[in-house]
Amino acid sequence: MTMVGPENADQARLLRMLRDDGPRSRVELADALGLARARFGAEVDRLAAQGLVETAGPAASRGGRRSSLLRIAEQVRFGAVVVGEGRLDVALTDGELRVLARHGEPIDVRVGPEAVVGRAVELLAKLRVEAGLARLAGIGVALPAPVAVRDGAPASSPALPGWHRFPVRDTVAAELGCPVQVDNDANLMALGEHHAGTGRAFNDFLYVKLGDAVGCGLVLDGALYRGATSGAGHIAHLQLTEDGPLCVCGNTGCVEAYCGDAALVRQAVAAARAGRSAALGDRLAAAGALTMADVAGAATDGDPIAQTLVRDAARRLGQVLVNLVSFANPAIVIIGGAAPGIGPVLLAEIRGVVYRRSTPLATDSMPIVLSDLDDRAALIGAARLISDQVFAAC
Amino acid sequence: MTMVGPENADQARLLRMLRDDGPRSRVELADALGLARARFGAEVDRLAAQGLVETAGPAASRGGRRSSLLRIAEQVRFGAVVVGEGRLDVALTDGELRVLARHGEPIDVRVGPEAVVGRAVELLAKLRVEAGLARLAGIGVALPAPVAVRDGAPASSPALPGWHRFPVRDTVAAELGCPVQVDNDANLMALGEHHAGTGRAFNDFLYVKLGDAVGCGLVLDGALYRGATSGAGHIAHLQLTEDGPLCVCGNTGCVEAYCGDAALVRQAVAAARAGRSAALGDRLAAAGALTMADVAGAATDGDPIAQTLVRDAARRLGQVLVNLVSFANPAIVIIGGAAPGIGPVLLAEIRGVVYRRSTPLATDSMPIVLSDLDDRAALIGAARLISDQVFAAC
């Protein structure tokens, strides 16, 4: 494969500016980069010759000679793969990381990495052909487990049985002939938020991912923070109580055992079977099983048992956040993955705990909000991850 | 005052290399900076003219023409002030941040910031005169409270009553005519560790400061991390239990209420008065009061009550660290401020809790060690803080 990319730091900065801020006039860009016109023109010509940037029409006049708008070239497309809890999503984005085309389908990660990664490759290849592209500029992959980022492979995790050390990065790169990066899904959701969501306005924030697995991505000093061994943000198995419910990890009282979707669903099923909630009982009888959407639906319909389940989980999450917020002092906490409809209750409970207990210096005016990117956060974050590599000076 | 300092990024990098790695040959330095000989020579000449660097003699021969060693000039001296729990320490360091002269004395921070800061200025001026210096290159100040770093003033804190928003930075700068920076003591201890202690070998670590006040400094991705509002690392008031002992902050069950020196001393006095520990009772009778050194002494002498106090506090600290380590994934945890003699017991208990509970990805081979810088950590860190500013390109 032919490698394309910026040849120096100025070209790299230019590409990232166009990615992050969209089309801008040549005059503005040259000013922002602190480059003389001739030098700037030469750098742009080299990027254009590589097919990385192109003219997007005339810029709005600022008086004097009219400048033209520059943008990332149309043909620059990133791929994104998100392996989720029971779902596989793939997407193509443009150079500004907007999702242009996507496909999602149910999967069972327990069939193993070969089948799931193989299917992701197939779907990406299909999207690429549909878009009329010879190749993708790069692909980012999100996995619902700790990832050894340097190896491009998942670490051992109950969420991905049989995936330990499977070379996800190298497999996808070999199949599709472009650069690939792999990371944990909560990390990439945080990156997606930082690129296109509420997190865009903040240099320091925590992104908390709810779902069957609970996770946290940290953006600190404007960059994703992964820790010494790619382990930062793994809050699922922090212990809230010593005598709490049993967790999938084998310990008791973990955050996930209190706040994970599976934990709530389990309690909801028990309540339905015991006849304590007619609303949950009806849903269970109708479908033969309950999902988090059922619990959320019953709660928003006013079922007191379902509401209590949601509130208790939110309060537990609040207890964890109190500590994390005091320790890390983020500017904002963004919560993603909440089941439809329960956002307001969730936020009210979490805020109640956090604002009551945190140290003033850490929480003065610190907002706690729901993500507004829905399930695009991880896709955009995956594209962002690989674009950071592709748009870096060689 | 005449401002001196590097004029460009290359000069700044050169000064920091000499500060961090000590004298090196011109040839090596030019290579490390990627500068041609002539350009390198010109930059060195400009720094020498400002009195910032000087020749330290011939370098060891590597064959060919002999190079000479370069170092930070003798006349570059940084001042450090550490306002502690009942103590004021001031020091002068050389350009490599080695402590050359110091003075410490008991203080009561409750007399207010004017008196304490005034005394620090007096002591620094005295050390400066004794060293035969016209001025200091800069001064770093450590306070035992949250600090609004941008303002150079402490935030509201029970540890420094009456100090809220007192302009420590501007007061010292006006008195001594040089750049000044102020920060929280745990932050500066972490910086000191990063410069001259065990932390030197690590880019990601937590420094936990024990004492009457418990704190934590975070070095992440090779730099001190302060959070969105200078609040990162404030672990003293994380809640361990809802029904725990009352804390000075007004809440119950805080880390400091379990693990702070004052909490242990209070429990030791109670045990002595109740006749439960002869060793503590004897010490109380002899001195009329107990200190943390008494508790530590009794524990190392084998008193079971004192040993239990120390072990319980260590276990509680371990419970906090489990969560922080899983969340932040540091490469090492360094513990400072432990009373003499109790280090081994402390570490054994903390390690027991942390290694048993943490997620494997976060603690695989993560050491937990005692600081070996003693009370120099904060002094060196304070000098490091201001040297980072003085050795930055204008």
Dump pLDDT digits (tens) for B279-333: 999 999 999 999 999 999 999 999 999 999 999 999 999 999 999 999 999 999 9
With contact defined as beta carbons under 8 Å apart, do A295 and A306 qualify? Answer: yes
Enter the pTM of the model: 0.91
Give the helix/strand (H/E) hosting A242: none
| pLDDT of B1 | 40
Question: Which of B48, B63, B58, B51 is closest to B23 using CA atoms?
Answer: B58
CB contact under 8 A, A327 and B204: no
Q: What class is the A78-195+377-390 domain?
A: alpha beta
Which of the following CATH numbers is that of domain B78-193+377-390: 3.50.50.60, 1.10.10.10, 3.40.50.300, 3.30.420.40? 3.30.420.40
Q: For A332-370, how does the pLDDT look when each residue is reduced to its tens digit (9 = 90+)?
A: 999 999 999 999 999 999 999 888 876 655 566 799 999
Q: By C-alpha distance, which of B357, B345, B324, B315 is closest to B186?
A: B324
pLDDT the model gives residue A67:
81
Per the model's pLDDT, the better-predicted residue between B212 and A394 turns out to be: B212
Nearest chain A residue to B220 by CA: give it. A227
- CATH code, A201-372: 3.30.420.40
Copy the structure tokens of residue A367: 């907002």
Residues B14/B29, Cβ–Cβ less than 8 Å: yes
Mutation pick from B160, B234, B255, B320 vs chain A, by most beta carbons of A within 10 Å, is B234
**Structure token pair of residue A106:** 């149910």
Q: Where in chain A is the domain with CATH 3.30.420.40?
A: 78-195+377-390, 201-372
Q: What's the mean per-residue pLDDT of chain A?
A: 93
B219 → chain A, closest CA residue? A227
% of chain A exceeding 90 in pLDDT: 82
Radius of gyration of chain A (CA): 23
Taking the C-alpha atoms of residue A384 and residue A215, their distance in angstroms, rounded to an integer, is 19
* Amino acid at site A85: E
Q: What is the pLDDT of residue A15?
A: 97
Host H or E run for residue A52: none
pLDDT at B83: 97
Which of 1.10.10.10, 1.10.20.10, 2.60.40.10, 3.40.50.1980 is the CATH number of B9-72?
1.10.10.10
Looking at residue B203, its pLDDT comes to 96
Half-sphere exposure at residue B158, Cβ-oriented, CA atoms within 13 angstroms: 13
The answer to whether domain B201-371 has CATH 3.30.420.40 is yes
Residues of chain B in contact with residue A251, where contact means CB-CB under 8 angstroms, are 357
Q: What is the pLDDT of residues A94-131, one digit of tens each?
A: 999 999 999 999 999 999 999 999 999 999 999 999 99
User: Residue A239 has what pLDDT?
Assistant: 85
Phi, psi torsion values for A290, nearest 5 degrees: -115, 150
Choose among A146, A231, A328: nearest Cβ to B227: A328
For chain A, residues classed under CATH 1.10.10.10 are 9-72
The DSSP symbol for A331 reads S
Chain region(s) in chain B for CATH 3.30.420.40 = 78-193+377-390, 201-371
Q: Do B216 and A155 touch (CB under 8 A)?
A: no
Residue with tokens 């489990």: B322
- pLDDT tier, A65 (very low <50, low <70, confident <90, very high otherwise): low
Q: Could you tell me which residues come within 8 angstroms of residue B232 by beta carbon, excluding any fewer than 6 positions away?
A: A327, A328, A329, B218, B225, B226
Q: How many Å apart are CA B10 and CA B15, to the nearest integer?
A: 9
Instruction: Give dist(CA B185, CA B382) in Å, integer.
Output: 8
Q: pLDDT-based confidence at B360, cuts 50/70/90? A: low
Between A354 and B64, whose confidence is greater? A354
pLDDT score of B364 = 64
C-beta atoms of A228 and B329 within 8 A? yes
Note the pLDDT tens digit of each residue in B178-232: 999 999 999 999 999 999 999 999 999 999 999 988 999 999 999 999 999 899 9
Q: Which amino acid is at A51?
A: G
Give me the residue from B146, B229, B327 closest to A235, CB to CB: B327
Indicate whether B355 pLDDT > 90. Answer: no
CA dihedral for A196, A197, A202, A206, sign (positive or negative)? negative
Residue A78's nearest CA partner among A87, A69, A68, A91 is: A91
Q: Between β-strands A332-336 and A205-209, what pairing exists: parallel, antiparallel or unpaired? A: parallel
| Of the candidate ranges A14-18, A298-302, A372-376, B65-69, the one whose mean pLDDT is the lowest | B65-69
Q: Give how far the C-alpha of residue A146 lies from the chain's centroid of Cα atoms, to the nearest Å.
A: 14
**CA-to-CA separations, B372 to A203, B189, B292, B337, B348, in angstroms, rounded:** 34, 11, 19, 10, 17
Lowest mean per-residue pLDDT among A263-267, B78-82, B237-241: B237-241
Please give the structure tokens belonging to residue A115. Answer: 């089948």
* Whole-number Å distance between alpha carbons of B210 and B163: 22
Chain B residues touching A329 at Cβ < 8 A: 226-234
| CB nearest A155 (choices: B225, B235, B361) | B361
Q: Which of A15-19, B153-157, B210-214 is predicted most confidently? A: A15-19
A219, closest residue in chain B (CA to CA)? B227
